Structure 1
Amino acid sequence: MMYSGAVEVGGPADVHELADLMISKVAVGPMNNNAYLLRCRATDEQLLIDAAAEPHTLLTLIGDSGIASVVTTHQHADHWGALREVVDATGARTYAGREDAEGIPVPTDVLVDDGDVIRVGRVELTARHLVGHTPGSIALVYDDPHGHAHVFTGDCLFPGGVGNTHDDPKAFASLIDDVETKIFGELADETWVYPGHGNDTTLGTERPHLAEWRERGW
């Protein structure tokens, strides 16, 4: 079956099969968070993005192979609710944005800055620091050498707009500037977007609406 990115809490994972990378997306409750398991097809090494909730669901998805690392996209509690259980069960190395690490109650092994590379097997993910939803939010970009880019945006970019900046004009300006410059400004329309909640999108779908988002202020 073709990958759609449409998943539901309690339902099965949806798997996006790329030439070098397998991406499994699952939804977990109670806030309908997305978690993404990445597996390098050459080495079988695995990385989890956002151990959000339901540790049993995530550990079942991970399977007996375990994970080498887990990346937390930002410090909000609904994105690390199962982190302690997952780390305890797998011994995974933890990554988070430098400015958000203190807000995550599980110690961060590797503090991530803009442009840092995080590896899963032979696959490289580039971190982009996007300020506004939180001070240290990061997105992860996989520039597929066999096709278009893929970007895991946490709560910084969704279908229909950027993440919540809680009616703070400065935070909104910062976030939309970073998203425009570091995501839309550097990646092509075909880039697939995997957000922290809800359905996926592409940059081409969202790009025509950037001015509208700026005008409305959210």
Structure 2
Amino acid sequence: MTDQDANRTGTADTRYTGTVVVGGPPDVRRLDEVEIRKLAVGPLSNNAYVLTCRRSGDRLLVDAAAEPDRLLDLERHAPGDGALTVVVTTHAHRDHVGALADVVARTGAQAAVGVQDAPAVEAATGVRADRNLRHGDVVHVGAVVLEVIALRGHTPGSVALAYREPGTATGPYAVADRVHLFTGDSLFPGGVGNTDRDPVRFARLLDDVVDRVFRRFGDDTWVYPGHGDDTTLGAERPHVDAWRARGW
């Protein structure tokens, strides 16, 4: 069996669980085109993700949340001789940007953030976004392409990133490629992100999650949230109506 065949049958990354704890080691998932390294950082147990293009070695960090030394150590231990080229901030809340200024200053990486959250990120960190992200944009890291999905409601400019893993999807809601979705605080196991019991914000967020995520992507889409364990769209899809009924 080739490495590619192993990935497509789900055997190459079976050791990855997505469960990490603050102070503990990262969990690592190796796919054909990209390696994903997940780390929990304190004090609020935020998840940070380093995505490495296996062709070029270039890296992307999702959420420089806290503990910059640990984040940079995570990046340095990624494979290849590439560099950290971009830090994507999923949203402007302070627990997701605590290490942003330090990481950008020490690496020279570009800072990318949802356009409506960019002023708040700059106010909190002093970092002016090199790139303001809009729904439908793409972000490149080496040869890897990530689609920007705006999921409004947790904050006005919250974004997710979608990576399509070629030729892997299966199941009744399958599409051509399995998707790996980095959702920040917009989608978790058990529901969407906090909208402070505001019915307008909740409806907007849930509508975006349904229209832009559940209606587009297959059940085997893997969800990497901003806190806690991972999930899949297949695990969450049966509960969407219940989320809407409860209002949070």
TM range (shorter): over 0.9
SS across alignment from 1:127: strand
1:156 maps to 186
1:24 aligns with 2:37: yes
Match for residue 107 of structure 2 among 87, 90, 95: 90
Match for residue 25 of structure 2 among 7, 12, 17: 12
SS across alignment from 1:183: helix
1:187 maps to 217
Distance in 2, matches of 1:50 and 1:26, equals 11
Q: In the alignment, is the contact (CA less than 8 A) between 1:19 and 1:146 conserved in 2?
A: no
Q: Which moved more, 1:147-156 or 1:59-68?
A: 59-68
Instruction: Supply the AA of the counterpart residue of 1:102.
Output: P
Residues 107-118 of structure 1 aligned to structure 2 (within 5 Å): 107-118=128-139
Distance in 1, matches of 2:104 and 2:83, equals 10
Give the C-alpha shift of residue 203 in structure 1.
0.1
Larger Rg: 2
1:68 maps to 85
SS across alignment from 1:104: helix
**What are the Cα deviations for residues 2-51 of structure 1, in whole angstroms up to 9, with x where unaligned?**
10000000000000111100000000000000000000001100000000
Count, aligned residues: 218
1:48 aligns with 2:43: no
2:154 maps to 133
SS across alignment from 1:172: helix
Give the C-alpha shift of residue 54 in structure 1.
0.3
Q: In the alignment, is the contact (CA less than 8 A) between 1:190 and 1:202 conserved in 2?
A: yes
Distance in 2, matches of 1:79 and 1:40, equals 23
Distance in 1, matches of 2:121 and 2:215, equals 30
Ranges of 4+ aligned residues in structure 1 off by more than 2 Å:
none
Give the C-alpha shift of residue 62 in structure 1.
1.0
Q: In the alignment, is the contact (CA less than 8 A) between 2:57 and 2:83 conserved in 1?
A: no
Q: TM-score, normalised by structure 2?
A: 0.87
Give the C-alpha shift of residue 158 in structure 1.
0.1
Distance in 2, matches of 1:197 and 1:100, equals 19
Instruction: Supply the AA of the counterpart residue of 1:137.
Output: S
RMSD of the TM alignment (CA)?
0.9
Give the C-alpha shift of residue 145 in structure 1.
1.1
Q: Any stretches of 5+ residues in structure 1 without a counterpart?
A: none
**What are the Cα deviations for residues 169-194 of structure 1, in whole angstroms up to 9, with x where unaligned?**
00000000000000101000000000
SS across alignment from 2:84: coil
Give the C-alpha shift of residue 66 in structure 1.
3.4
Match for residue 226 of structure 2 among 182, 185, 196: 196
Q: Any stretches of 5+ residues in structure 2 without a counterpart?
A: 1-13, 169-177
Give the C-alpha shift of residue 63 in structure 1.
1.0
Give the C-alpha shift of residue 146 in structure 1.
3.5
Instruction: Supply the AA of the counterpart residue of 1:34.
Output: N
Distance in 2, matches of 1:34 and 1:123, equals 21
